[in-house]
Structure formats: C-alpha cells, structure tokens
C-alpha cells in the first residue's frame, strides 16, 4: 500500500540522486510503517521549469526549486507515523538534493482500506484475509 510521489523540477537532480531518493524513501516507508518492502512504491514526477511556479513566478524565471511530495497511508495509521514520514521525506530531499528545507512541501493522503485496491481487491478484504491466515497459523502452532 505505501506509495510516495516526489514532484521535482527537471534538471535539478542527477540520475544518481533520483535513485538514492527512491531507495531511501522506500526504506523509510518500510521501516516507519513496518511494511514489507515488496509493498512499497516510490515515484518521481518531473516538471519543466516553465511549468513549476514557486513564490509567484515560474522556476525558470526565479531559479527556485521547491520540491513537493505526497504519500498515501491507509486510514488508521497513527499520527506519529505520519509525522515521521513527513519529516523523513523532507530530510531526504534536503540531504540528497541539497534543497532549502523551507521550500519543501508535503502532503499525507489517508485512504479508507475499502477504497484502496491491491491486485483488484480492496485492502480491507486483504487485511481480513491476512488476519485470518495469521490466526490459523497461530492456532495450528498452539
């Protein structure tokens, strides 16, 4: 379920920086949410400088790079986890892309489990199946 998308300006990060950002963001997500890595998705969406406005002018005119990120969690995730992700994704952008922290913006999008699809099934259904399977394994072990 964990999905993060970084909106960056074209030409302001190298291929190596993009890879570092995607890998580090995936690791952060997996760690904070205690989610298996195979469930994590991380994306970068690039925007042309003349299609990216910061402080009232396009970035090609003022040269400001102000990354934005959004990430999705299922409803019910604790506030402290969401705040760890907001702070962590911001720090990754600052450390990896050397952007000014005050320019970074981010948004947490909380989604009801029945409104999130994994392989065509609602996350609420899959969650029920996982809980049942775990209970069956524990019952068989006991």
Q: Which band of pLDDT confidence, cut at 50, 70 and 90, is reported for residue 118?
A: confident
Q: What pLDDT does residue 127 have? A: 74
| pLDDT, tens digit, 9 for 90 and up, residues 35-67 | 889 989 999 999 999 998 888 999 889 888 899
Task: Give the integer Cα–Cα distance in Å for 54 and 61.
Answer: 10
Average pLDDT, the chain: 91
Q: What pLDDT does residue 47 have? A: 94
| pLDDT, tens digit, 9 for 90 and up, residues 10-28 | 999 999 999 999 999 999 9
DSSP assignments along 92-133, one per residue: HHHHHH---GGG-EEEEEEE-GGG-EETTEEHHHHHHHHHHH
Q: What pLDDT does residue 7 have? A: 97
Q: What pLDDT does residue 60 have? A: 87
- Dihedral angle, C-alpha 30, 33, 36, 40, nearest 10 °: -60
Asked if residue 1 has pLDDT above 70, the reply is: no
| Average pLDDT of the residues in 54-83 | 92
Which pTM value belongs to this model? 0.87
């Amino acid at each position: 379920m964990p999905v993060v998308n970084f909106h960056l300006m074209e030409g302001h990060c190298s291929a190596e920086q993009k890879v570092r950002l995607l890998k580090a963001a995936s690791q952060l997500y997996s760690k904070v949410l205690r989610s298996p890595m195979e469930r994590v998705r991380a994306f970068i969406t690039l925007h042309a400088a003349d299609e990216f406005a910061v402080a009232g002018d396009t970035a090609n005119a003022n040269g400001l790079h102000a990354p934005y990120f959004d990430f999705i969690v299922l409803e019910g995730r604790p506030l402290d986890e969401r705040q760890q992700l907001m702070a962590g994704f911001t720090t990754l952008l600052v450390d990896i892309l050397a952007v000014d922290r005050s320019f970074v913006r981010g948004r947490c999008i909380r989604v009801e489990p029945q409104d999130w699809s994994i392989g065509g099934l609602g996350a609420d259904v899959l969650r029920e199946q996982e809980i049942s399977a775990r209970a069956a394994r524990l019952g068989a072990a006991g």
